[in-house]
Amino acid sequence: MFYSPNVGGEIRLVDLLASVLDSIQFRGTVYCQTEFTAPWGVKWEGRPGRAGFFMVVRGGCYLQADQFSDPVPLAAGDFVMSPRSRPYILSDFPSSSVVRFDDVLGDGAPSCHRVVQHGGGGSQTKLVMGCFELDMSENNPFLRSLPEFIHVRAEDLQAEPWLDTTLRFLASECATGKAGSSFAIGRLTDLLFIQSIRVYVAQEMQRPNSSGWLRAMADPQVGQSLFLIHEKPSAPWTVASLASAVGMSRSSFAVRFSELTQSTPLDYLTEWRMQEAQRLLGQSSKLLSEIASSVGYGSEAAFSKAFKRSTGQSPGHFRKGRQLVS
């Protein structure tokens, strides 16, 4: 899918998505493998700043959450991710008794080779469970647009060979425990996050009623303006200059942009500048004045004020926190 902007050339949708994914700092962790035997039921309570995920390796189960009107049946090969780590229940049957997953997990440290057993001794369901720790999920416009759960069914993986291969490799590495498997699993989980997002976007863009940020991406004018903001966040954009760049009147553009993104153009610009600033603070040694300039602020003071208003902390404090984590 391509944009054909008035500013010349073709802007690929994938370029816009790539810039967004590049702004998301994440680290994948496999908590454990599970061997649950019927009857069983566990509740994942969710953790802020983490995107929980699991894959069904063997057997089947039901997924229950406030976002679903009915229990969702899952089969071997299915993959589920909760981008904002919402609480959910997994069980062999919807009416089975449920215990906290943390109680089942116990005090042992998370490990890709750890096997957690639970249940009544009946038919077995085997899972690989983990999470992605996200550094900047709260204000990222793309992550906010994602559904509470992304469910990729086993039969759909036939059309997604890269994701299918990644899931198979991940399950194999967890099960075998060969030399270097922990390193391989870390790389596979990173790839898993990116590929699962790509699969969701590809599937959603094929639906005529896609909404929110994805619908904005697909819109010729608004999608083009998003790319311009992402490509040059330091530019002195105004509503009028963005509207002119995409061939619309100022008022029509402002209404259309807000309708699709649920944000004003200038609010979105500020959000994206802060996302880029967080990335630079966490990944570079640039001076604050340099970062301020690269995201469109004429002074370090103006940048610091905007950053604290957006994130609740100063740029220096944010950078120090990222250094402590890394």
Query: Looking at residue 180, which CATH number applies to its domain?
Result: 2.60.120.280
Q: Are 129 and 198 in the same domain? A: yes
Assigned domain for 277 exists:
yes
Rounded to the nearest 10°, the torsion over CA 299, 301, 303, 308 is 180
Q: Are 25 and 146 in the same domain? A: yes
Q: Are 124 and 99 in the same domain? A: yes
pLDDT of residue 209: 64
End of a domain among 175, 205, 235?
A: 205
pLDDT of residue 234: 94
Assigned domain for 212 exists:
no
The count of domains in the chain is 2
pLDDT of residue 29: 78
pLDDT of residue 7: 38
Cα-based distances in Å from 302 to 265, 267, 297, 298, 305: 20, 16, 6, 7, 5
pLDDT of residue 63: 97
CA 159, 161, 164, 168 torsion: positive or negative?
positive
Assigned domain for 246 exists:
yes
Q: Are 127 and 252 in the same domain? A: no
pLDDT of residue 323: 61
pLDDT of residue 2: 32
pLDDT of residue 4: 36
Q: Are 39 and 175 in the same domain? A: yes
In eight-state DSSP terms, residue 112 is: T
Q: Are 106 and 189 in the same domain? A: yes
Q: Quote the pTM value.
A: 0.75
Whose tokens are 């039921």? That residue is: 41
Assigned domain for 31 exists:
yes
Q: Are 305 and 264 in the same domain? A: yes
Assigned domain for 12 exists:
no
Please report, for the domain that includes residue 315, its CATH number.
1.10.10.60
Domain interval for residue 171: 19-205
Which tokens in the block code for residue 8?
A: 């010349």
Q: Are 172 and 89 in the same domain? A: yes
- In the sheet with 124-134, reading across from the earlier edge strand, the strands are 115-119, 26-37, 124-134, 50-58, 79-82, 150-152
CA–CA separation, 150 and 2 (whole Å): 25
pLDDT tens over the chain, length 326 residues: 333 333 333 344 667 777 777 777 777 878 788 899 999 999 998 777 778 889 999 999 999 999 999 999 999 999 999 988 889 999 999 999 999 998 988 876 667 778 889 999 999 999 988 888 776 555 677 777 788 899 988 888 777 787 888 888 888 888 776 767 777 877 888 888 888 887 887 777 777 666 577 778 878 899 889 989 988 999 999 999 999 999 999 999 999 999 988 889 999 999 999 988 988 998 888 999 999 999 999 999 999 999 999 888 999 998 887 765 55
Q: Are 288 and 235 in the same domain? A: yes
Whose tokens are 């249940």? That residue is: 119
End of a domain among 177, 205, 233?
A: 205
Which tokens in the block code for residue 113?
A: 């080779």
Q: In terms of C-beta density within 10 A (0-12 exposed, 13-18 middle, 19 or more buried), how is residue 288 classed?
A: buried
CA–CA separation, 67 and 109 (whole Å): 30
